[in-house]
Amino acid sequence: MESNKSSMGLKVALGIALVLFLGTAFYTMNLYQESNDAKKQLTEEKQLVMNDLNAMAKQYDEAISENEIANADLVEARARIQGLIDSLKISETNVKSLWRYKSKYLSLQKEMDVLLAQNDSLRVENSYLATSLDSTRVRLEERTIFTDSLLVQNTALAEVVENAAVLSTVGLKGFGVIERTSGKLIPTERASRTDKIRVCFTVAKNALVQAGDQELYIQVIDPKNNTLGLNEQVQFDEKTLNYSIVSKFNYENANLNICEFVTTNNKDFEKGRYVVNVFNEKDLVSSSEFTLK
């Protein structure tokens, strides 16, 4: 009888233990399932926050790309979003962490609304300024064209004035002379009796030439193509001039009569045609010929 009671009690105890085991297993399975569901939901929530942050970053990229000179506040905000995205990628997936990122996202969203509104306002102002600058640029280009035209005209005028501001000579004559011991000069056409060549000319009045000391180069070439007188050289840029004498005088903005004498290194002057040239530096201003018999 007692044996039966003992057996019955054992069965009851085993039954209770089985029920408890099954209940615990069921409860554990439920907890595991709920944990997986919660983890899945948190992962999905994390991805949503990531998507929102990426969308926000894209908006900043578009706003920044619209300006040639990026707004510093936009660039800084974009960098903070990228930092938050990078942090979220490696963060733990839990409620506390996710809530912190959502809070930061909401804060950044408010900041972005303000910054983008300011950026839109600046873009409108920049557009207006660009239009104004284009108009100003057109006016400046027109002014530059006008100024360039004046510069060309002034340069051309300056060149005309510079070219005109040159001494010229008229009435150039060359001839042989006999020089008496008294100093008296007698013109002659005979080479054998010629003591010197006399060159006379008039420096013409030119109001464009500054008054003061001036000089002209006289060149006398004999029938054998020799330069008489000093026969020295002077260099003007790439041109070399052989001259017989330098005529130096004081110019007072009026016609000035000048005569100079040229000698020969030989005992006698050659018979034939002589050429007389007058140069103002490298420029030939007058020329004439004469003959000694």
**DSSP line for 173-228:** EEEEEEE-TTS-EEEE--GGG--EEEEEEEEPP-TTSPSEEEEEEEEEE-TTS-B-
What's the average model confidence in pLDDT over 119-130? 63
Q: 104 near 84, Cβ under 8 Å?
A: yes
pLDDT exceeds cutoff 80 at 108: no
Helix (H, G, I), strand (E, B) or coil at 158: helix
The partner residues of 243 in beta bridges, in order of sequence, read 232
User: What would the 3-class secondary structure string for 88-150 be?
Assistant: HHHCCCCHHHHHHHHHHHHHHHHHHHHHHHHHHHHHHHHHHHHHHHHHHHHHHHHHHHHHHHH
Q: 49 near 88, Cβ under 8 Å?
A: yes
The predicted pLDDT at position 9 comes to 64
Largest CA distance in the chain: 191
Weakest-pLDDT range from 60-74, 224-238, 266-280: 60-74
Phi, psi torsion values for 229, nearest 5 degrees = 75, -135
Phi, psi torsion values for 70, nearest 5 degrees = -65, 140
What's the average model confidence in pLDDT over 61-79? 70
Nearest to 221 by CA among 288, 136, 123: 288
The predicted pLDDT at position 20 comes to 63
The predicted pLDDT at position 162 comes to 46
Location of each CATH 2.60.40 domain in the chain:
169-292
With 0-12 / 13-18 / 19 or more C-beta atoms within 10 angstroms meaning exposed / middle / buried, residue 242 is middle
> Tokens 């030439």 correspond to what residue?
209
The span from the CA of 46 to the CA of 35, in Å, is 16
The predicted pLDDT at position 39 comes to 64
| CATH fold for the domain made of 169-292 | Immunoglobulin-like (2.60.40)
The span from the CA of 256 to the CA of 261, in Å, is 17
Amino acid letter, residue 90? I
The predicted pLDDT at position 157 comes to 44
Q: What is the pLDDT of residues 180-236, one digit of tens each?
A: 988 899 999 999 999 999 999 999 888 778 889 999 999 999 999 999 999 999 998
pLDDT exceeds cutoff 90 at 158: no
